[in-house]
Chain A
Amino acid sequence: MAIINQATKELQVKIVYYGPAMGGKTTNLVQVHDHVQTAAGNKGKLVSLATSSDRTLFFDFLPIEAMSIKGFKTKFQLYTVPGQVIYNTTRQLVLRGVDGIVFVADSQYEKMPENVDSFTNLEENLKSLKLNLADIPYVLQYNKRDLPNVAPVEYMEFLLNNRDVQVPSFASTAHKCEGVFETLNMITRMLLHKFVSQGTPQYA
């Protein structure tokens, strides 16, 4: 649940990058951190709680502010979860208070079962927090499109985006920063749209 502070005119939003192990979640955050255009001082440090072999152990965390929102100081907190199956409890902890989700899928053919399992796991973990994926803005990112053995986007859409309401999806090559900002901008737009449309009736 986003935090809004009327006194200081601050809005804080939590976006979680979810997906199978080694899919590129941390790489997305690293690329945002390295390439985001900011006014001085509003990009935080990228904090990574990783093992010695650079696998995410708890989460990665990157606080940033959007430059082009007036009226409220809007702080976005980007988190990743550890993708490995054994860290499920940790994933549940990181999902607490989530406002929006970026599901980073690995485009390689052999990773399709892991993508589907991870997506199912996301739905289950949200349920355990009494949340429903249908109520949370989320986007799909089909990563690693530069590899030779990738599945067609249409096939991935069929596997992961085959619902009543289809969500935006992006092809990406995160380590080259392709598709990273497109994904982030879409999820933030969806979130802000949700907040604004939720807030209006109350004050109408």
Chain B
Amino acid sequence: MGTLPQLIEEDIQRLDEALRELLEKSDATTALIIDKGGFLISGQGDTRQFDLTTIAALASGAYMANQTIANLVHETNFNSVYQQGEKYSMFVICIDESSLLVVIFKASVSVGAVKYFAVPAVKQIADQMQIAQERDPGGGLDLSVLNIADPSALFKKREA
């Protein structure tokens, strides 16, 4: 499994630009970049009305489950999932080995347009991920500023 590169501010800006451009051109509502393990990396558009953390976890699970089904029926050319709704629809497309693009759009918006404009967005995002990967191929974690205030209990049980 591929691991996500360490992303710096410049990377996130570029990724967000790609998402904003996609939303503008396709008239979609929300666009997310998520990790295949279920983490939300970045989101643009209307990010308030949806629970994005949960959508990221479920969308990656749905994509991976569908990919496994595709393999079981000997389908090798699998790279996207389209969920059709009456109010909102969702399109999930593979970016690279470790990440996915999720686009949420109103049912009135053309899925063709979303699919069409998602392709260049995916390319742009994948290129930026590649740049980040090459900048720091080791991809270590700098958590030197991480400070555990109370190491005895990171999570505390609420008193009844």
Contact = CB atoms under 8 A, between A and B. Distances in A.
Contacts of A64: 155
B41 interface: yes
A184 B155 contact: yes
Contact of A69 (B11, B140, B147): B147
A61 interface: yes
Contacts of B142: 4, 6, 199, 202-203
B8 to A, nearest CB: 5
Contacts of B138: 202
A44 B53 contact: yes
Given A66-B154, A96-B1, A198 B140 contact: yes
Interface in A148-196: 177, 180-181, 184-185, 188-189, 192, 195-196
Interface residues of A, number: 59
Contacts of A90: 65
B54 interface: yes
B73 interface: no
Interface residues of B, number: 45
Interface in A93-145: 93-94, 96-98, 129-130
Interface of A: 1-8, 11-12, 14, 32, 35-37, 44-45, 47, 58-59, 61, 63-64, 66-72, 74-75, 77, 79, 89-90, 93-94, 96-98, 129-130, 177, 180-181, 184-185, 188-189, 192, 195-196, 198-203
Interface of B: 1, 3-4, 6-9, 11-13, 35-41, 51, 53-54, 57-58, 61, 64-65, 68, 138, 140-151, 153-158
